[in-house]
Structure 1
Amino acid sequence: MIRRAVALLGVAVLGGCAAAAPMPTTAPLTVVTFGDSVAAGTDCDCTPFPDLYAGRIGAHSINLAEAGSTAADVAAELDTDEGTEAVRGANVVLLMAGANDVADAFDANTGEQGYAQAADSVQREVTAALTRVRELRGPGVEVLVVGYWNVVEDGDVARVDYGDDGVAEAASATRYTDDALRRAAAAGGAAYLDTSAAFKGADGRANPTALLAEDGDHPNARGQAAIAAAVYEALPDPPL
């Protein structure tokens, strides 16, 4: 847990009397999260990764992620009173959105053309959201865009539900999504976090089933902890 103290030292002399220096104070850190069901902790019955990360750095967590949110929903949330106020007090902003956009294209069997169109929309909306964060908070905030290991089911559940061809299609849809998020992060002055290694290992071949809930889609407690650890590795010491 990070502890930061700012000691304000000084002596004011008024009428020959010295004023006592203030005691050191601890400035709180605040982590604000926008995103979808992964960041919200859906189907986990556990602490979601934004709150785990905040606890690790001794920060207050404002988790505004909601199940079903699209990239456009996240961009719109930044223009609400709640979203605006949260960002203005943030030291770290986490953003994880786009899976629902491209998952719809996957479910509709649109193929790569559909994935590309959905991903283009994700890139525009996430870039707009990041631009809004900078407008509200300026350079004094760390912003991290979190990518996906898969935008739909994975592991053993995916093998049963999709078959080998469907698993390959899911991987393609995910690549489109993550590439869009990576480009948006670069355009919006944010860092990008690839979570695929956390779930599938450095070579991308590990079976992520042990990190997933029974639906094969959302992270379980171990999966949430894995994302939190990756976020901490990316942002171990955010600014006050």
Structure 2
Amino acid sequence: MFSGYAHQRSRSRRFGTAVTILATALTSVTAAGAPDVASASGAPRAHTALAAPWTAGPPEAAGSPASEGRRAVESVLGLGDSVPAGSGCDCVSYVALVAEALSARQGTPVAGSNLAAAGLTTQGLLDMLDDDTVRAGVAGADLTVITIGANDFAEEGVEDDSCGVDLACYGTELARLRANMDTLLSRIHALRGPGGRVVVTGYWNVFLDGAAGRARGPKYAAGSDRLTMAVNAALAASAAASGVLFADLYTAFKGEDGTRDDTALLAADGDHPGAAGHRLIAETVLSALAGPDPRR
């Protein structure tokens, strides 16, 4: 996941050029034809169009109290790094799962496009917004979901005693992350106008997690956890300041006390989400969408 650094979440999640990404990442998704996914325990289970709260009951009628003030979503756009890109997992990305669930909820088709790319940093995503095709995609999306930021950090510091509990060695990168996210969300807001909605996700871990993370030792596990919480705090603060939604993946993956073993939610590399992880991310994004609109 870490473009230009020793560790990358996909070991190849490097941002090349906007032209290359656009040629490979503009992938349409539909509600039909999605394969089976795994349960949180890792056992296969039938594909169920995701998130019972979104599929229960008949589609909302236009003008009903539940839908008042929220137009139907016709298109979902994914932006960010290898997480929304679906790297490391032979499964359906959470971006496609969100589009599918919204289609089932509304009873109307929802188109999906995914411009996420392995190795992308916040600066890389900002650079992508200079491309006319990307800008048009953002402007036309009713819902934009973003996972970005982990590639802004090098892995080496998490085991460095000089970094300390205050993460002093990451101070510059954390400040840059916040500044880049503020600029990114401001530019997306300007492109999409008042109608579209945006969800920014956090991370369960910016480095290895679960059994793979524990195998690196307690110092690595503790340091990566501290950095992840700091990254999530910066992302959540930027989302709040920009009036967009934040989906807390740390709590979703690791529980309220942060101690749940999330190995079963991860791909074999212990880095990317597996099928069950993507399903949980989609459910968390949908839950965020069901909450109050922060723009009001």
Asked if these proteins are the same fold (TM beyond 0.5), I'd say: yes
Note if 1:93 corresponds to 2:93: no
Residues 3-82 of structure 1 correspond to what in structure 2 (within 5 A)? 29-58=74-103, 59-82=110-133
Distance in 1 of aligned mates of 2:98 and 2:141: 14
Distance in 2 of aligned mates of 1:174 and 1:103: 12
Note if 1:231 corresponds to 2:285: yes
CA deviation vs aligned residue, 1:123-175 (integer Å, no higher than 9, x gap): 11111111011111112111111000100001111111x20111000011111
The structure 2 residue matched to 1:102, chosen from 136, 145, 153, is 153
How large is the Cα RMSD of the aligned pairs?
2.4
The structure 1 residue matched to 2:229, chosen from 175, 189, 199, is 175
Distance in 1 of aligned mates of 2:60 and 2:133: 27
Identity of aligned residues (%): 38
1:137 partner amino acid? R
Residues 153-164 of structure 1 correspond to what in structure 2 (within 5 A)? 153-160=208-215, 162-164=216-218
TM-superposed deviation, 1:227: 0.3
Distance in 2 of aligned mates of 1:151 and 1:108: 14
Structure 1 residues 104 and 164, CA gap change in structure 2 (3 angstroms): closer
Runs of 4+ in 1 over 6 A off after TM superposition: 4-7
Q: SS at 1:136's partner residue?
A: helix
CA deviation vs aligned residue, 1:190-223 (integer Å, no higher than 9, x gap): 1111111221122211100000111111000000
Distance in 1 of aligned mates of 2:144 and 2:73: 15
Q: Contact 1:142–1:238 (CA<8 Å) still a contact in 2?
A: no
Q: Partner of 1:207 in structure 2?
A: 261
Distance in 2 of aligned mates of 1:27 and 1:192: 20
2:75 partner amino acid? T
Structure 1 residues 172 and 28, CA gap change in structure 2 (3 angstroms): closer
Over alpha carbons, which structure has the higher Rg?
1
Aligned residues: 220
2:99 partner amino acid? A
1:188 partner amino acid? S
Distance in 1 of aligned mates of 2:72 and 2:208: 41
Structure 1 residues 230 and 188, CA gap change in structure 2 (3 angstroms): same
Show structure 2 runs of 5+ residues with no match: 1-54, 64-70, 104-109
Q: Contact 1:43–1:213 (CA<8 Å) still a contact in 2?
A: yes
Q: Contact 1:32–1:92 (CA<8 Å) still a contact in 2?
A: yes
Distance in 2 of aligned mates of 1:103 and 1:211: 24
Q: Contact 1:105–1:115 (CA<8 Å) still a contact in 2?
A: no
Q: Partner of 1:140 in structure 2?
A: 195
TM-score for the superposition, normalised by structure 2: 0.69
1:154 partner amino acid? D
TM-superposed deviation, 1:79: 2.1
Q: Contact 2:153–2:173 (CA<8 Å) still a contact in 1?
A: yes
2:141 partner amino acid? A
Q: Contact 1:70–1:100 (CA<8 Å) still a contact in 2?
A: yes
Structure that is richer in strand per residue = 1
Structure 1 residues 6 and 159, CA gap change in structure 2 (3 angstroms): closer
Distance in 1 of aligned mates of 2:288 and 2:153: 25
Distance in 2 of aligned mates of 1:238 and 1:33: 21
2:268 partner amino acid? E
1:74 partner amino acid? L
TM-score for the superposition, normalised by structure 1: 0.84
